[in-house]
Amino acid sequence: MDLTEEQQQIREMVREFAVKEVEPIAHEIDETRRFPKETVERMAELGLFGIPITEEYEGAGGDNLSYILAVEEISRVCGSTGITLASNFSLGTYPIWAFGTEEQKRKYIPDLASGRRMGCFGLTEANAGSDAGGTQTTAVKKGDRWILNGTKMFITNASYAYTCVVTAVTDKKAKKKHQGISAFIVTKDMKGFTAGKKLDKLGLRGSDTAEIILEDVEVPEENLIGEINGGFKFFMQTLDGGRISIGALGLGLAQGALDKATQYARERIQFGVPIGRHQQVGFKLASMATEIEAARHLVWHAARLKDRGLPYSKEAAMAKLFASEAAYRATKDAIQIYGGNGYSREYPVERYFRDAKLCEIGEGTSEIQRLVISRTLLNE
C-alpha cells in the first residue's frame, strides 16, 4: 500500500527503534507493571510525540498517517508502549492542538510535541463510560475562575501527565445532558489536582492507567477549550481521531502475533514436518494475515481521510472495530499455534492476547463503534 518515501523512512526508523529498544524490555515491564520512563525519553528524543504538529510548535511537521504508522510499529512489539504514545498524542495533545486557542497552543503544545511533558484526557467516570452524558464532574464559575470537582477514572498516562484535558458539567439544567458539558485544560501544579490509584490491569501492564481526583481545583477562565457547553462535540471529535490510533494499536498487536506465530510454525516440528505445513496451522496463518491486511487498509484509509481534511468519523469507527476484533482473533490464534507454550508466560503471545483485549473496550467499546456506524448509515 503505497507510502511516500518519508512515510517509509519514518516507519523503518520506528521499527528499528521498536526492535532494538522497546521489544527487549516488553516482557519485563508487563511482568513488573513498570512504566518505562527511559523509553518515553527516547521517544521524545526521536520526535515521536509530535509527529503531526508543525515545526513552529516543536513538532516534526509530518502527517497523521506517519503518526499512525509509528503507533502500529511500536505496538507490534509492545502494546503498553504503543498505547502510551497513542494516548499521549491523540488524547493528551490533539484536543489542545485542534480546538485550543492560539494562546493555549503556544502555552502547552511545544512541551507536549517535544515530549518534555506528557498529557492525558479525562473523560471517563464511574457513571460516565459509554454514556458520556452521565458526567458528574462539575465546573462552577466563580469570578474569572472555574472551580472543578469530581473523579475521573481509567486515565492513560495520568500519573505522568502535566496537562489533563477534562470534561465537566457546566450547565446542570441543560435539556439534554450532553449539551451541558465543557472541556478544560487542568495542570498537575494546580491545587487540588491529584493523580490517584493506579489500575491493576489484565494487559498493557507497562502503561499507566490511574484516577484523577479534582478537589476545588481553580482553573483560570482562559483554560476553557472551545465554547462553553460545547464539550460533547469536542470530545466526540477527539475520540474519532483516537479511534484510528487504537485501530493502529490493534493492528500492530495482530501483526506482532502473526510474526511470532509464523516464525514458530516454521521451526516447531511435529509429525516430522514444521507445523506450518499442517493445513490446520497454515490456514490459520493465512486467515490471520488476510484479516490484518484488511485491517491495515481500513486504518490507513481513515488516517488518510483525516490528512486530507475529509470526514472520517464512520471510517475511524470501522477501522477501530475491525482492527480490534482482528487483533483479538489473531492473538488468540497465535496462542493456539504455540500450543502449551502459547499459554506459558515464557513466550510472548499470551501478552499480545491480554493487550489486544483493550482494543475492544478503550475509546469506545466495539458496541459503541457499531452504534456510531449504524447511526451514520441510518443518518441519525
Partner 1 sequence: MKIAVLVKRVADSETRVKVGGDGTAVDPAGVQYVINPYDEIAVEQALQLKAGASAGGEVIIVCLGPKDAAKEVRKALAMTADSAVLLADEMPYRDSYGTAKVLADELKELSPDLIISGRISIDSQVGAVAPMVAQMLEMPLITEVSSLNLEGETLTCERAFEGGKEVVEAKLPALVTVQKGLVEPRLPKLPDIMKAKKKPMTEKPAAEIAPKIKVLSMELPPPRAGGEIVGEGAEAAPALVKKLKDEAGVL
Binding site for partner 1 (CB under 8 A): 5-6, 8-10, 12-13, 16-17, 45-48, 51, 55, 59-62, 269
User: Considering beta carbons, is residue 22 or 217 the nearer one to partner 1?
Assistant: 22
H or E element, residue 338? helix 313-338
Residue from 69, 83, 148, 146 nearest 120 by CA: 83
We find the least distance from the C-beta atom of residue 110 to partner 1, in angstroms, to be: 13
10 Å CB burial of residue 140 (0-12, 13-18, 19+) is: middle
User: Considering beta carbons, is residue 84 or 159 the nearer one to partner 1?
Assistant: 84
We find the least distance from the C-beta atom of residue 66 to partner 1, in angstroms, to be: 8
| CA–CA distance, 71 with 363 (Å, rounded to integer) | 15
We find the least distance from the C-beta atom of residue 90 to partner 1, in angstroms, to be: 17
Tell how strand 161-169 and strand 118-122 pair up.
Answer: parallel
Tell how strand 138-142 and strand 209-220 pair up.
Answer: unpaired
Residue 91 corresponds to which amino acid?
L
Cβ pair 207, 84 in contact under 8 A: yes
| CA–CA distance, 100 with 183 (Å, rounded to integer) | 10
Cβ pair 229, 170 in contact under 8 A: yes
We find the least distance from the C-beta atom of residue 95 to partner 1, in angstroms, to be: 22
| CA–CA distance, 331 with 79 (Å, rounded to integer) | 12
- Enumerate the active-site residues: 363
* Cα three-residue angle 130-132-133, rounded to 5 degrees: 125
Helices H / strands E in the chain, number of each: 13, 10
User: Considering beta carbons, is residue 61 or 134 the nearer one to partner 1?
Assistant: 61
Residue 184 phi, psi dihedral angles, 5° rounding: -135, 150
| CA–CA distance, 123 with 132 (Å, rounded to integer) | 7
Tell how strand 269-270 and strand 193-198 pair up.
Answer: unpaired
Helix (H, G, I), strand (E, B) or coil at 44: helix
Residue from 190, 194, 235, 234 nearest 211 by CA: 194
We find the least distance from the C-beta atom of residue 51 to partner 1, in angstroms, to be: 6
What sections of 163-276 are H helices per DSSP?
231-267
We find the least distance from the C-beta atom of residue 231 to partner 1, in angstroms, to be: 32
We find the least distance from the C-beta atom of residue 207 to partner 1, in angstroms, to be: 22
